[in-house]
Amino acid sequence: MFCFQCQETAGNSGCTVKGVCGKSSEVARMQDLLMYATKGLSEVTTKLRAEGKEVSKEINHHITLNLFTTITNANFDFDVFVNRVYQTLDIKKDLLEKLDNKENLGEAVLWDERDLEKMDEKSRKVGVLATENEDVRSLRELVIYGLKGLSAYSKHANVLGFDNEEVDIFLQEAMYKTTLALSVDELIALVLDTGAAGVKGMELLDNANTSTYGNPEITEVNIGVKNNPGILISGHDLCDLKQLLEQTKGTGVDVYTHSEMLPANYYPELKKYDNLVGNYGNAWWKQKEEFESFNGPILMTTNCIVPPKDSYKDKIYTTGSAGFPGCKHIEGSTGREKDFTEIIEHAKKCQPPTQIEEGSIVGGFAHNQVISLADKIVEAVKAGDIKKFVVMAGCDGRHKSRNYYTDFAKALPNDTVILTAGCAKYKYNKLNLGDIGGIPRVLDAGQCNDSYSLAVIAMKLQEVFGLDDINELPIVYNIAWYEQKAVIVLLALLALGVKNIHLGPTLPAFLSPNVVNVLVENFGIAGIGTVEDDIELLIK
């Protein structure tokens, strides 16, 4: 196996024996094969469209889900990947019959093999290292990881009945293009186009979420526990949460959010449920201890599974793109009702959660809420009470080096405000950093995809202050990344013209030195230094 798609990749170079995330080499190779099959299918859909033929929404969703299922920590189940390869080959076979011009079809289109041994053999030849030139490999993978992140966001919109066909068409064309002999310049253009598609994908999801659940509003979220048995819901899928809340109503079982599900508490249509009682625990990587003390069952709706300990493995349920061998998977395809009876009955037999924290945290500062406070914010900036906004969105992770972000937040002067989204917030959202004239110093917009909100806020402030360039705003970017959704957020920010983003705790291993140079020269991308140096550089 060879995988270097996330920030925790072995030695910041590549996982080759087993994933640091816990992914086995068999699963890693089958994921590579699924990507290969998906590139083949994407070539066919792209060529069909060029012939003026329709590609169904179901096929778009299938491709999106293929990519989403391979993101870090989403799915560890070998059989799931084998089945998705089979299904992808079936769809491709059907579509090929509709294609008139079958000349010059790529190798990935022509490949069709259902024998497991031969599939494994093939998987060894089509992974990341199949591209020999390191710059081309770097750019191709940068595009693919961006598309994986984009797929996660599209999938969340799809389950709510929202689609943007333009985004699907782009994604499939881009997947196909990663198989072509494009020049470095053409690949760089494709990277930027991927970022632009990322903006559209996040806009789509923002629209889907806010029109379904209302605009997030300032909300105090309980981080303690109550006396009823509970279900902990993790991941990012608000539609799963909504269904779980409906089905637990009146059962005596409480629902708690975990990690990236915390922002669900900010939506009017979700927070109205009395059985949504708070958030339990912290970012994804602390789940081994926190799932144990939760006592009740846990529903993983998307990525961010840490291979469970035997002591609580029987309490883990997965659904959607998530999966782990031996854990119960709750079925339900895009937009369909799911039946959570089994997990609810399971919860009833469990002890209430053990309290690990108490009090509350405040969030809900997505664009609509912040823009309604715009006057107050602009006044505070004009009066010099707020000198800088620091975007510290992104991810949290296991490495000690990430304590940098807690220290950085603590070291920020009192006239700065942190704008955050994603699980990175857990590094400083319980520090009690106070407020500036009633504006909290940590404004949480929501999940990683809600980084879109931060861009909307920046654009609004640019308009209010009458600036020509978004980079003239008193906003600096110190972003933490872990997996591929953060890659699309980064590319989206670049597409919006944001410059001088600092990215840590390490730059991606998949960026070759030459590609890093391109990013440094054109966008001012930089890594992180010491807290003192970075405060000096970014704030003073």
Tokens 């699963």 correspond to what residue? 27
**165-177 vs 25-50: helix axis angle to the nearest 10?**
110
Asked if 306 touches ligand SF4 (CB under 6 A), the answer is no
Residue 439 backbone dihedrals phi, psi, to 5 degrees: -95, 115
Residues 27, 522: Cα–Cα separation, whole Å: 37
CA-CA-CA-CA torsion sign (355, 357, 359, 361): negative
Residue 433's binding partner among ligand FSO, ligand SF4, none (Cβ under 5 to 8 angstroms by kind) is none
Site for ligand FSO in 283-322 (CB under 6 A): 284, 303-304
Asked if 422 touches ligand FSO (CB under 6 A), the answer is yes
* CA 392 remoteness from chain centre: 15
Nearest-approach distance from CB 495 to ligand FSO, in angstroms: 18
Within 13 Å of residue 210, how many CA atoms lie on the same side as its CB? 20
Asked if 280 touches ligand FSO (CB under 6 A), the answer is no
Q: CA triplet 427, 70, 206: central angle to 5 degrees?
A: 60
For the CA atoms of 152, 153, 155, 160, what is the dihedral angle to 10 degrees? Answer: 150
Name which of 34, 52, 46 is nearest 172 in CA terms.
46
Binder to ligand FSO among 395, 419, 511, 519 (CB under 6 A)? 395
Q: Output the residue with the shortest Cβ distance to ligand SF4.
A: 19
From residue 204 to residue 243, what is the string marking binding to ligand FSO with x (rule CB under 6 A)? --------------------------------x-------
* Nearest CB to ligand SF4, comparing residues 28 and 456: 28
CA-CA-CA-CA torsion sign (256, 261, 263, 265): negative
* Nearest CB to ligand SF4, comparing residues 475 and 515: 515
Binder to ligand FSO among 238, 276, 386, 448 (CB under 6 A)? 448
Stretch that binds ligand FSO, among 185-193, 200-208, 209-217, 478-486 (CB under 6 A): 478-486
Number of residues binding to ligand SF4, judged by CB under 6 A: 13
Binder to ligand FSO among 483, 494, 534, 535 (CB under 6 A)? 483
Q: Residue 365: helix, strand or coil by DSSP?
A: coil
Residue 91 backbone dihedrals phi, psi, to 5 degrees: -60, -45
Residue 220's beta-bridge partner residues? 362
Stretch that binds ligand SF4, among 14-22, 183-191, 207-215, 395-403 (CB under 6 A): 14-22
Asked if 43 touches ligand FSO (CB under 6 A), the answer is no
Nearest-approach distance from CB 397 to ligand FSO, in angstroms: 7
Name which of 203, 261, 513, 220 is nearest 362 in CA terms.
220
* Nearest CB to ligand FSO, comparing residues 40 and 235: 235
Asked if 8 touches ligand SF4 (CB under 6 A), the answer is yes
Stretch that binds ligand FSO, among 31-39, 362-370, 482-490, 531-539 (CB under 6 A): 482-490
CA-CA-CA-CA torsion sign (271, 277, 282, 287): negative
Q: CA triplet 83, 84, 85: central angle to 5 degrees?
A: 90
Residues forming the site for ligand FSO (CB under 6 A): 236, 259-260, 284, 303-304, 394-395, 422-423, 447-448, 482-483, 485-486
Residues forming the site for ligand SF4 (CB under 6 A): 3-6, 8-9, 15, 19-21, 23, 28, 72
